[in-house]
Structure 1
Amino acid sequence: MNKKRWMAAALAGAMALTMTACGGGTEDTPADDSASTAESTNTEQSTGGEAKKVSVILKTLAAEYWQYCKAGAEAYGAEHGVQVDVKGPSSETAFEEQITMIETDLNTADYDAYVIAPLQAETVKTLVAGETRPVIAVDSDIPDTPEVLSFVGTGNEAAAKLGGQAAVEAAKAAGWTEIKAIEICGVQGEATSEARKAGYMAGIEESGGDFLEEETQYADATADRAVNAMEAIMQTHLEGVAIICAHNDDMAMAAARAAASNPAYENTIFMGFNGDKSACESILKGELTMSVAQNAYDMAYKAVETACNAVAGQQPEKFVDSGADIITSENAQERLDTLNSYLK
């Protein structure tokens, strides 16, 4: 076992224990100074040629969201004559599988660049140490890593802030005069969870709502635990709560189902995050109210584009925001049609 492999395995083992304890994923939010030390090395890392083959390693392919990422990456390749090899482990907890994929592709001489969605950023940081070909992080950042030239993803805090603002307006329209909000959050202390929480809070409070931060329910980003969290909220707030915002769509839909038979929550705004097909369908059925939609297809498309531009010698932006939209009953069908078109 080489030194990088040994260090990566040690890091993965330590982080796997942490993940088991908190039961969540490891999505990072963009850091403004991410890879700031790369300024002096980016020129050396660009080959100045034309990209012919790019490795794209996602967190998994066994989920709808990552299939959109795969489609976007492959679309860029098809449009620009670049071979794009997309792969991912069997699940978002298959850490060793991803380590092996990354290690194998880094040792493959004919790749011109790499796009990686890290399951464990610190582990990937070790694996890419010293790599001179362009490395782009997608969906989750790999902070403080000179080899990573750019992070392409969602600005989680900014996107959640938009969602919080939209939720307050929806609550007003639904007749709420006292607009209290509680979040069913992801993993406590995890970067993406805390960024979305901060964004929701800012958007809700700046729009005149009251974000009950001390009542945040951490549910490890899982639907089952979101049900338990929603039941706890209903026991504490018999009068109802204007806004329930959640870390992802699965949690928001689970919370909405748990409250469906409670009259006090009939007009509650249930907000998710991701904007996947299931969320659009739930919105159209009148179950979920709205969702902050990440643009997974565009995210991966832009990530491969950024990698290819870096190969050509262009200096990439440190952070490329793939954008976010607010999905409601007014545009859910349009969003659903678009998502379906990606997977044809």
Structure 2
Amino acid sequence: MKKKLMAILVIGAMMLSLVACGGSDGEKTDGGDGGDTQASDSGGGDGKYNISVILKTTSSEYWGYVVAGAEAYMAENPDVTVEVKGATSETAYDEQLNMIETDLSLDTIDGYVIAPLQADTVTTLIAGCEKPIVAVDTDIDAPEVLSFVGTGNENAGALGGKAAVEAAKAAGWNEIKAIEIAGVQGDSTNESRMSGYKKGIEEAGGEFLADEIQYANAVADQAVNCMEAIMQSHPEGIAIICANNDDMAMAAARTAAGNEAYKDTIFLGFDGIQSACNSILEGELTMSVCQQGYNMGYEAVDAVVRALNGETLDEFIDAGATVVDESSAQERLDELKGYLE
């Protein structure tokens, strides 16, 4: 019964999206290698555009930076109105789908930025939409999506892996082995970061212990258990512990605190949020690969506007990544605080 009801809802939503997005009077031009580019007249005939930005949530530090970037674009471009919204949590799937469905039905909106919680379902919702759609943070595999703005997770992971090996050498490790505390097994973002860590560590001369990966489902509590298991298996210590996000990396570092064999271990996180910067400054976490959430928000809105103006978009717009350590943590912290003021 539940499956039938869900099927009815999805079909109904798809029909709504076809009506709402398929009725655009704008011209659609071939975007070549960058996908289709659209110019919409639905609300931008006077040179002004209304952009809907629907995020996974707006109730976390990371997503606050994405919001700040999108709103900064609006502040710098008075002819562009940006409305940002998001679900109450990253598991409020139906809530976000309702937001997307509602905004697809509005003639007053000229284009969309979407960070999907359930990309496959969103693909169904946006089917047939002729207004510009740009995915942010997480890609949507649909022809209606003109571009994906986000982090090149594999390249960013490789950047962090190389930096971790160099830090391990500086810390005096002769045998540089690395174990990852990973996120959700099978998740595409997790797999990309893992591939990047492996690549960067091995290219820099370290050894990535692929047979000893610990999956912690991206949460700190489970990362504690993973770190305890690692310390039992390797009482002699390990040069590098890399994690899929900062929360897990910080939890691992705290768990190993006081273990003499791990006093020089390099703990590498991913995201570069404020709590990670504070942890680095306090001597717990060693370093973190920084996503540029602010840049993502800004670039995603900019991409929709450029599509509305008839420009061809690249299929992937890399918002960039850096590595923060004790030498740059305060600068990064100040920058992040500035975004949220």
TM-score for both structures, normalised by structure 1: 0.89
Query: In 2, are the aligned partners of 1:57 and 1:101 still within 8 Å (CA)?
Result: yes
1:169-196: per-residue Cα shift (whole Å, max 9, x none)? Answer: 0000000000000000001111000000
Taking the aligned partners of 2:89 and 2:6, their CA distance within structure 1 comes to 25
Select which of 96, 99, 116 maps to 1:101.
99
Query: In 2, are the aligned partners of 1:51 and 1:311 still within 8 Å (CA)?
Result: no
**Partner residue of 2:120?**
122
Query: Where do 5+ consecutive residues of structure 2 fail to align?
Result: 15-29
Select which of 6, 23, 39 maps to 2:10.
6
Select which of 329, 334, 337 maps to 2:331.
334
TM-aligned CA deviation for residue 38 of structure 1: 8.0
Confirm whether residue 63 of structure 1 aligns to residue 60 of structure 2: yes
Select which of 292, 295, 298 maps to 1:298.
295
Query: Where do 5+ consecutive residues of structure 1 fail to align?
Result: 11-35
Taking the aligned partners of 2:129 and 2:72, their CA distance within structure 1 comes to 26
Taking the aligned partners of 1:69 and 1:51, their CA distance within structure 2 comes to 22
Question: Could you say what secondary structure the match of 1:118 adopts?
Answer: coil
Taking the aligned partners of 1:324 and 1:4, their CA distance within structure 2 comes to 42
1:252-286: per-residue Cα shift (whole Å, max 9, x none)? Answer: 00000000011100000000000000000000001
Question: Cα distance 1:9–1:186, how it changes in 2: closer, same or farther (>3 A)?
Answer: farther
Question: Could you say what secondary structure the match of 1:96 adopts?
Answer: helix
Q: How many residues align?
A: 317
Percentage of identical aligned residues? 60
Pairs within 5 Å for 1:1-344: 5-7=9-11, 42-43=36-37, 45-47=38-40, 50-81=47-78, 82-143=80-141, 145-344=142-341
Taking the aligned partners of 2:133 and 2:119, their CA distance within structure 1 comes to 13
Question: Cα distance 1:200–1:257, how it changes in 2: closer, same or farther (>3 A)?
Answer: same
TM-score for both structures, normalised by structure 2: 0.89
Query: In 2, are the aligned partners of 1:51 and 1:312 still within 8 Å (CA)?
Result: no
In structure 2, give the amino acid aligned to 1:47.
S
Question: Cα distance 1:162–1:219, how it changes in 2: closer, same or farther (>3 A)?
Answer: same
Taking the aligned partners of 1:6 and 1:38, their CA distance within structure 2 comes to 31
Query: In 2, are the aligned partners of 1:115 and 1:136 still within 8 Å (CA)?
Result: yes
In structure 1, give the amino acid aligned to 2:101.
E
Max Rg structure: 2
TM-aligned CA deviation for residue 8 of structure 1: 8.5
Question: Could you say what secondary structure the match of 2:311 adopts?
Answer: coil
1:120-177: per-residue Cα shift (whole Å, max 9, x none)? Answer: 110110111000100000000002x110000000000000000000000000000000
